[in-house]
Chains A and B, each alone.
Chain A
Amino acid sequence: MTTTAPETVDTAALEAVFDAAVAADERIEPRDWMPDAYRATLIRQIAQHAHSEIIGMQPEANWITRAPSLRRKAILMAKVQDEAGHGLYLYSAAETLGVGRDELLDKLHSGRQRYSSIFNYPTLTWADVGAIGWLVDGAAITNQVPLCRCSYGPYARAMIRVCKEESFHQRQGYELLLALSRGTEAQHAMAQDAVNRWWWPSLMMFGPPDGESPHSAQSMTWKIKRHSNDELRRRFVDICVPQAESLGLTLPDPDLRWNEETGHYDFGPIDWDEFNEVLRGNGPCNEQRLARRREAHEEGAWVREAAAAYAAKHAPGPRPGGTPHHTPERGTAASGPTKHPEAMA
């Protein structure tokens, strides 16, 4: 709602209502007033989350055609399909903030928005599929369960659906590794090698240490974030150590040990230089992942244009003097009406 009344007074009043709602753990909904910075933070976070689902299909899709049993192949296909679905939920949640999916995809393709650093690592063996399920999805769930209580309603509700499916994938990943760990010597070695390569990158998924995470405080005040990066990382380590023991696999950290005093596991230092390099685009697969995504999008352009042209020709009812606004990217019958960015400058 825009009014012509003095802006400062209005904004202060609106902000007070907003702050009170957040303080009372009420949900902020799309039509509610919200601070521009809250909107911008959410758009960035939800978009990057959506992009991570889409880019995250690639390392696993890499093994669909080579899955070693039909059961595993079916599980993996279903998982990659779920990830596309999660991407769709999340783009929809972002759209409630006044930004279009096309625009967000464009930002992903041009490198102006990021996705999770973890997907810049390669899947070199079949066991990597299990390690991703167990560790990467496990870390994602640890991050995302608190988001089910995030102050922004559409995001929180998307997270509830996403977390249910992710938990299922996580158990399947664990079970895959268990089969390998208890299998032949070669299979066990394959599982251990995958865990060795995925452990540290998984810990990096929680983001920089608390002292170097400037946006965290504001996100916690707004109840977008409920726990600090280090707190969630510690929780994840505490969960993983006994699971690794039951798997019969070790975690590649000589400093990992139980601390009686804190009631948590102590663990070794994370290589933040590596993390920063990957974020800067210098990880093993950054270039490849983005190139593949762009290629799929560009090669699909004629298909989206065809769907839009067909929809325009077959739109019900006469439309005197106007062409329907079908953007190519949203040209399938399944997609909803295009939202135009309004709140975002």
Chain B
Amino acid sequence: MTATTTRAATGPVPVTAALALGDDALVLAHRLGEWAGRAPVLEEEVALANIALDLLGQARTLLSLVGDEDELAYLREERAFRNVQLVERPNGDFAHTIARQLYFSAYQHLLYTRLAEGDGPFAPLAAKAVKEVAYHLDHAEHWTLRLGDGTAESHERMRGAAEALWRYTGELFEPVEGLDGVDPAALRAAWTERVGDTLRRATLELPTGPTSVSWAAGGGRQGVHTEPFGRMLAEMQHLHRSHPGASW
């Protein structure tokens, strides 16, 4: 941590950063919620819902720091959401869900660990949430191992998922304004090491690229999203928007 970033915990909360972190958690919680009743085993019904609930709790805390949680969740349009594109990716098969969780939880764990060490407005939330995220990461890592080093089919699915989502990982390390002085770029080496180690133990390789010629995700923090996101929001917001001013 650099000294220039210290901020009293009671100080003003930077909106951009709160929305970035809050939207990441909100959107991924929603995607995980789509698994309810569809998981491959009952234990995973419990685990995926548990992770979704933790993330939803984080989202509520973060959004409430800068406004009304429901107004922010239900009345903003697509271009106003600041989440990374990784978390809005459709669930796909179980391997895609696990790869998405591995990449995101590894990032969130490093980020929250750093935020918790500081004394900025996100420190109290990060200190609590980092314990939850450690569990999410453990869960994703164990499933990466089981799928990567399981059967030929699961290996191929896990490899395909790790590769397909790779282009969405670069965005995790873009700067976020007002993030208690934590530069996400500084997390990249540790993230690559942790994720790479897990993939190797799962008999998989760390994907390479995207190369200069292929497209890489990068607009989420600026409110530029992928096509499935609009449809996700339509479903999420429909009922709330149908009853303006109602309380629930």
B69-108 contacts to A (CB < 8 Å): 69-70, 73-74, 93-94
* Nearest B-chain residue to A79, judged by Cβ: B49
A309-B150 contact in complex given A69-B248, A73-B56, A332-B41, C-beta closer than 8 Å: yes
Partner of B40, one of A58, A88, A296, A335: A296
B215-248 contacts to A (CB < 8 Å): 235-236, 238-240, 243, 245-248
A223 to B49, CA, bound (A): 36
Residues of A within 8 A of B149 (CB): 310, 313-314
A81 to B93, CA, bound (A): 20
Partner of B37, one of A70, A71, A80, A332: A80
The stretch of B3-11, B28-36, B165-173, B187-195 that contacts the partner chain:
B28-36
The stretch of B13-21, B113-121, B139-147 that contacts the partner chain:
B139-147
Residues of B within 8 A of A84 (CB): 42, 45-46, 49
Partner of B247, one of A80, A183, A332: A183
A264 to B210, CA, bound (A): 72
Contact call A69/B151, Cβ cutoff below 8 A: no
Residues of A within 8 A of B44 (CB): 300, 303, 332
Contact call B37/A61, Cβ cutoff below 8 A: yes
Partner of A304, one of B37, B40, B60, B240: B40
A181 to B93, CA, bound (A): 40
Give the size range of B's interface with the partner.
35 or more
A68-B42 contact in complex given A61-B37, A80-B36, C-beta closer than 8 Å: no
Minimum Cβ distance to chain A for residue B248 (Å): 4
Nearest 7 pairs between A and B by C-beta?
A: A300-B40, A306-B150, A306-B154, A81-B49, A84-B45, A61-B36, A303-B40
Q: Interface residues, chain B, CB within 8 Å of chain A?
A: 26, 30, 33-34, 36-46, 49-50, 52-53, 56-57, 59-60, 63, 69-70, 73-74, 93-94, 142, 145-147, 149-151, 153-154, 157, 235-236, 238-240, 243, 245-248
